């Protein structure tokens, strides 16, 4: 097809040009989807990408806000975790729809739609968000290594750079290996917190009441601020880019019916995975409420303080060990998805393709350098402030990913028969506006008190 025909074909589809080469080309369409078979056989073929996405919703950056929320306000903020998770489920369903329907990930869609200066700005913001998320993972893993093995924080931070080799090894073996490792680590986190819930003996009635939204959350400024922190820490911007790409690792039929089926199963996969993330985030807050709020330790917000107090308050050293193991699994899990997101964003926005290990090393160094400087100057106390700062950067970037996503999936010319229904688009626009307003408020509060 000559250039003029290509441009005409792209224009008729609502896009300015034909699709680029796929992101993550080494695993694109690498996993077969059975053409025949029952519901569960097809679902099994699609299970995986949702869990890579769910990892970002339970990374170490979430822990501080969940711990503070439980220690200060008992079970009251469980409703905020639930609402945040429902928002995440809807947004991730839209990203799967975009990737499967158009064959573009969100970064490629932005590069096709926006001007070069706008795309460059979006890329810079996204790289900052990925570096901030990586920073939280570096610190979380380093804290876990310190708590479990007594390693100095600085040594733990430097040790996390070795995971570059793990990511490279897994990518060479195939995408299913990455998915298997991620799901195994998520199961470890869920098991640890399941046991923690049993040991802490929470108030079941209080938990059910906590999932019901309360007017006090809006009326109490301190409670509102932590609630906004939970919202900001839950929905991760880089996950929107990641999910729209990795759903394309499945070799589904490139027909209307084949894509419709793929969208359905990918949505089920991400919804189930995010419900597991809901359990983990709720469990952190419930543990904090049961162990700290009920005993008068309402000032607990640091991960290290929580670790030290759990054993004496719950009467067993196992409680602290489980907490640290879950933290280590959370930090390591998030590093696996961070490198993929970074690769997708760079390839999508700039069409620059680096070897995965080089991309990972660059991202890791961006995270390690500020962590080393802060630990060197401020010591252990500085890590908590750095975790909070990383969440502020993530909050700042979020709307710049959500709004383009909702724009594209609501556009019939771009999406064709897979355009989001009117009710879904309306709900997505409301969520996008709410997230933007709340994050502006959160940022204002962070910088101006």
The full set of domain ranges for the chain reads 34-448
The DSSP letter of residue 419 is P
Q: Is the per-residue pLDDT at 12 higher than 60?
A: no
| 361 or 308, higher pLDDT | 308
Single pTM value for the model:
0.88
At the topology level, CATH places domain 34-448 in: Amino acid/polyamine transporter I (1.20.1740)
**Token couple for 259:** 């894509």
DSSP string, 181-192: HHHHHHHHHHHH
Q: What are the two backbone dihedrals, phi and then psi, of residue 253, each rounded to the nearest 5 degrees? A: -70, 135
24 vs 389: CA distance, rounded Å: 30
- Report in angstroms the alpha-carbon separations of 170 from 97, 157, 166, 264, 339: 27, 22, 6, 28, 12
Q: Which residue has the tokens 């700062």?
A: 389
> pLDDT digits over 372-392, tens only?
777 777 776 667 777 767 767
Residue 245 has pLDDT above 70, yes or no: yes
Please give the pLDDT value at position 155.
86
Q: What is the pLDDT of residue 1?
A: 45
Question: CB neighbours (10 Å) of residue 79?
Answer: 17
pLDDT of residue 135: 77
> Is a pLDDT exceeding 90 seen at residue 50?
yes
Q: Which residues contact 282 (CB under 8 A, 6 or more apart)?
A: 78, 81, 82
- When pLDDT is averaged across residues 162-183 and rounded to a whole number, the result is 74
C-alpha–C-alpha distance, residues 440 and 127, integer Å: 20
Average confidence (pLDDT) over 243-257: 92
Give the model's pLDDT for residue 8: 43
Q: What is the pLDDT of residue 4?
A: 45
How confident is the prediction for the chain on average, in pLDDT? 84
Would you state the pLDDT for residue 166?
67
Chain CA centroid to CA 49, Å: 12
């Amino acid at each position: 097809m000559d250039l003029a025909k290509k441009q005409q074909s792209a224009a008729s589809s609502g896009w300015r040009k034909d699709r680029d080469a796929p992101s993550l080309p080494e695993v694109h369409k690498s996993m077969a989807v059975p053409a025949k078979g029952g519901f569960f056989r097809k679902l099994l073929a699609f299970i995986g990408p949702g869990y890579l996405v769910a990892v970002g919703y339970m990374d170490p950056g979430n822990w501080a806000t969940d711990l503070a929320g439980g220690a200060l306000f008992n079970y009251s903020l469980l409703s905020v975790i639930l609402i945040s998770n429902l928002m995440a489920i809807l947004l991730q369903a839209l990203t799967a729809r975009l990737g499967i329907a158009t064959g573009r990930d969100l970064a490629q869609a932005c590069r096709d739609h926006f001007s070069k200066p706008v795309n460059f700005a979006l890329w810079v913001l996204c790289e900052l968000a990925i570096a901030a998320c990586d920073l939280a993972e570096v610190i979380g893993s380093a804290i876990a290594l310190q708590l479990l093995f007594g390693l100095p924080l600085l040594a733990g931070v430097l040790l996390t750079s070795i995971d570059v080799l793990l990511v490279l090894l897994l990518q060479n073996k195939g995408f299913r290996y990455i998915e298997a490792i991620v799901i195994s680590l998520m199961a470890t986190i869920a098991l640890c917190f399941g046991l923690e819930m049993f040991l802490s003996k929470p108030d079941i009635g209080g938990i059910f009441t906590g999932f019901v939204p309360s007017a006090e959350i809006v009326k109490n400024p301190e409670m509102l601020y932590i609630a906004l922190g939970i919202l900001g820490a839950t929905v991760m911007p880089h996950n929107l880019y990641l999910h729209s790409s990795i759903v394309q690792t499945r070799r589904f039929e490139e027909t209307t019916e084949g894509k419709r089926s793929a969208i359905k199963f990918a949505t089920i996969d991400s919804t189930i995975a995010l419900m597991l993330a809901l359990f983990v985030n709720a469990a952190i807050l419930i543990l904090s409420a049961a162990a700290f709020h009920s005993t008068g330790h309402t000032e607990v917000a640091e991960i290290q303080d929580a670790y030290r107090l759990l054993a004496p308050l719950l009467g067993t050293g196992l409680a602290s060990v489980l907490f640290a193991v879950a933290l280590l699994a959370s930090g390591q899990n998030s590093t696996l998805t961070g490198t993929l997101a970074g690769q997708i964003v760079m390839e999508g926005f700039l069409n620059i393709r680096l070897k995965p290990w080089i991309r990972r090393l660059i991202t890791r160094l961006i995270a390690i350098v500020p962590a080393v400087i802060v630990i060197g100057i401020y010591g252990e106390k500085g890590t908590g402030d750095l975790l909070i700062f990383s969440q502020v950067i993530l909050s700042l970037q979020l709307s710049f990913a959500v709004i383009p996503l909702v724009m594209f999936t609501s556009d019939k010319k771009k999406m064709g028969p897979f355009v989001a229904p009117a009710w879904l688009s309306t709900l997505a626009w409301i969520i996008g506006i709410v997230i933007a307003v709340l994050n502006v408020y959160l940022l204002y509060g962070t910088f101006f008190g």
